[in-house]
Chains A and B, each alone.
Chain A
Amino acid sequence: MNGPSQASYSRYHPKWYRRPVSVWWWLESWRFTKFVLRELTSVAVGFFALELLLEIRALGRGPEAYARFLARLGNPLLIVLNLLAFVFVLFHSITWFNLAPKAMQVRLRGRRVPDSAIAGANYAAWVVITAALAWMLLR
């Protein structure tokens, strides 16, 4: 490489060559597609938050409003939409728990807790929480 004394600069920066990337780059390989699908699970998460907010609003407005809300959820289009959202949310849970060991490394008595144990703890918590919530919501 040139030392500082021989450094020479051109006035204009050359334009780097960049391979043009199509908007559909994520369809080129299954790995990319999976990545984008995983990121899109956030839409299902947001959709659920909105739905829950609307349910609480209907609850607050009285029995008729709540009945109307429930009837709307029975619309086949919304059932299909909710099914799609449910599949995406499950995909989110699974990918999230599987990534958890990479996001946090737990050490116990100086030894690294194996990845499978951290992911396993997440899945166990999922089962317990799901059972507890189902029990409360179905009473």
Chain B
Amino acid sequence: MTRTKTPLLWFLFSVGGTLAALFIPVHLFLMGLAFPAGWLQAPPYESRLALVKHPLARLYLFVLISFPLFHWAHRFRYTLYDGLKLKHLTELIAVICYGSALAGSAAAVYTLWMIR
């Protein structure tokens, strides 16, 4: 079981890590800092909605949510093992981490699908 799953999880981890490294800083800077602090003018609701409605934008947003979530799940899982010495909770931690990433991805699909 583990032998077949590990390469997939490693793949999700590394793709998610690369996407996160390349794409997240600018998004986080604008959404979390520049717009709320008023350094830059945030685009109005309508233009933002129009952008998100584009099929390619939806696909992009799904990828930008799902892969980084799996990256988090994989890395955080091992951080818990090593950092807090929780080796005895291996299964529980894995289920919670990958389960959250899976749930988040499903929520992203649903949310992006529901935008009219």
Contact = CB atoms under 8 A, between A and B. Distances in A.
Contact of A43 (B21, B30, B72, B115): B72
B25 A138 contact: no
A79 B32 contact: yes
Of A26, A45, A66, most buried by chain B (CB within 10 Å of CB) is: A45
Interface string B52-72: 100000000100111011011
Interface string A32-73: 000010011111011011111101110110010011001001
Interface string B40-61: 1011010111011000000001
Contacts of B16: 45
Interface residues of B, number: 56
A97 B116 CA distance: 38
Contacts of B29: 86
Interface of B: 14, 16-18, 20-33, 35-37, 40, 42-43, 45, 47-49, 51-52, 61, 64-66, 68-69, 71-76, 78-79, 82-85, 104, 107-108, 111-112, 114-116
B30 A39 contact: no
B33 A39 contact: no
B85 A42 contact: no
Chain B at the A interface: mostly helix, strand, loop or mixed?
A: helix
A82 B28 contact: yes
Interface stretch (A7-15, A109-117, A127-135): A127-135
Interface of A: 21, 23, 26, 36, 39-43, 45-46, 48-53, 55-57, 59-60, 63, 66-67, 70, 73-74, 78-79, 81-83, 85-86, 89-90, 92-93, 96-97, 103, 122, 125-126, 129-130, 133-134, 136-139
Contacts of B22: 93, 122, 125-126, 129
A13 B29 CA distance: 56
A56 B28 CA distance: 14
Contact of A133 (B27, B42, B66): B27
Contact of A52 (B27, B35, B43, B72): B27
Contacts of A43: 72, 76
B61 to A, nearest CB: 6
A26 B78 CA distance: 14
Contacts of A39: 75-76, 78-79, 82-83
Contacts of A42: 71-72, 74-76, 79
